[in-house]
């Protein structure tokens, strides 16, 4: 999950690096045409610097160009901070609209999480190159960190969880009335829960908490499936299905923001 302070710091650091490297590259390029002798007559240290820059321009200019290009690429991948601030606000609105004020328990028991599909991820288990849905943003101010990942390979039959099925079907999916798995899991409950949520019983054993109702919403960017939003609640009541059109509208707004970022 994105850590906003660190992310903002990184983005602005990359911006500053672009300016610094771009300026240095310009100075080095200018040093090739500078009159070092005339400069030495009025300020020797500057002449020494120009002489050094001119002698090493053959590698300094390419290095600066690569640094500027690399910073620009990383910034494009990350997206500007304001985009992710707006996305977080949209997820907060979606959380309030989906769950309202009639839900049991604290706010963090009812969440909206945005997952992005990636071709591969760094991991030490289970086919890191197969295709995954990883969390990139979540509603609320607490329990923002999310360690759950869902397998979403080209082999659609192996897609995991509500997120994976939403990715495969490209439709809004609702699941509710799931059994409570708090405390000791019975084999029957665990098997029933796993079947209804498209995960394995072993996968369930590795998770600390289990929602009892879900909604999956596909997110497209520039006409291509980008990821999914997953609404989850520890309450077994159905998530408001009359908001289906609203869910698609939020997904469209998120897709527009992600395409711009």
| Tokens linked to 186 | 């019975």
**Same-domain check for residues 123 and 216:** yes
Total structural domains within the chain: 2
**Same-domain check for residues 74 and 98:** no
**Same-domain check for residues 198 and 229:** yes
Where is the domain boundary, 78, 100, 131? 78
**Same-domain check for residues 64 and 153:** no
**Same-domain check for residues 99 and 219:** yes
Contact 172, 215 (CB under 8 A): yes
**Same-domain check for residues 223 and 103:** yes
**Same-domain check for residues 74 and 90:** no
**Same-domain check for residues 132 and 211:** yes
**Same-domain check for residues 110 and 184:** yes
Residues of the domain holding 93: 81-260
Question: For each of the chain's 261 residues, which pLDDT tens digit applies?
Answer: 555 667 778 888 888 988 999 888 888 888 777 776 776 677 777 777 877 888 888 888 889 899 999 988 888 877 788 888 889 899 998 988 888 766 667 778 889 999 999 887 665 555 666 789 989 899 887 666 666 888 888 888 889 999 999 999 999 999 999 988 876 667 788 889 989 999 988 888 777 778 899 999 999 998 899 999 999 998 888 887 666 788 888 899 889 888 875
**Same-domain check for residues 54 and 100:** no
- Give Cβ neighbours of residue 256 (< 8 Å, ≥ 6 apart): none
**Same-domain check for residues 109 and 70:** no
Where is the domain boundary, 58, 78, 98? 78
Q: Interior CA angle at 177 toward 175 and 178, to 5°?
A: 85
**Same-domain check for residues 237 and 253:** yes
């Amino acid at each position: 999950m994105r850590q906003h302070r660190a992310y903002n710091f990184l983005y602005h650091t990359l911006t500053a690096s672009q300016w610094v490297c771009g300026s240095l590259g310009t100075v080095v390029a200018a040093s090739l045409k500078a009159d070092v002798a005339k400069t030495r007559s009025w300020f020797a240290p500057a002449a020494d610097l120009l002489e050094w820059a001119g002698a090493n321009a053959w590698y300094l200019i390419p290095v600066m160009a690569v640094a500027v290009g690399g910073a620009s690429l990383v910034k494009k991948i990350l997206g500007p901070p304001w985009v992710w601030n707006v996305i977080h606000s949209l997820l907060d609105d979606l959380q309030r609209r989906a769950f309202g004020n009639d839900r049991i328990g604290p706010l963090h028991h009812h969440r909206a999480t945005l997952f992005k599909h990636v071709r591969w991820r760094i991991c030490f288990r289970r086919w890191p190159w197969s295709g995954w849905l990883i969390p990139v943003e979540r509603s609320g101010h607490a329990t923002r960190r999310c360690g759950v990942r869902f397998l979403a390979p080209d082999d659609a039959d192996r897609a995991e969880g509500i997120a994976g099925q939403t990715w495969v079907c490209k439709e809004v999916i609702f699941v509710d009335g799931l059994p409570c798995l708090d405390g000791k899991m019975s084999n029957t409950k665990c098997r029933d829960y796993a079947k209804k949520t498209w995960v394995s019983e072993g996968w369930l054993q590795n998770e600390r908490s289990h929602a009892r109702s879900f909604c999956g919403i596909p997110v497209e960017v520039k006409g291509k499936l980008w990821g999914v939003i997953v609404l989850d609640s520890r309450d077994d009541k159905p998530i408001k299905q009359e908001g289906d059109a609203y869910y698609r509208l939020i997904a469209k707004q998120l897709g527009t923001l992600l395409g711009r970022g």
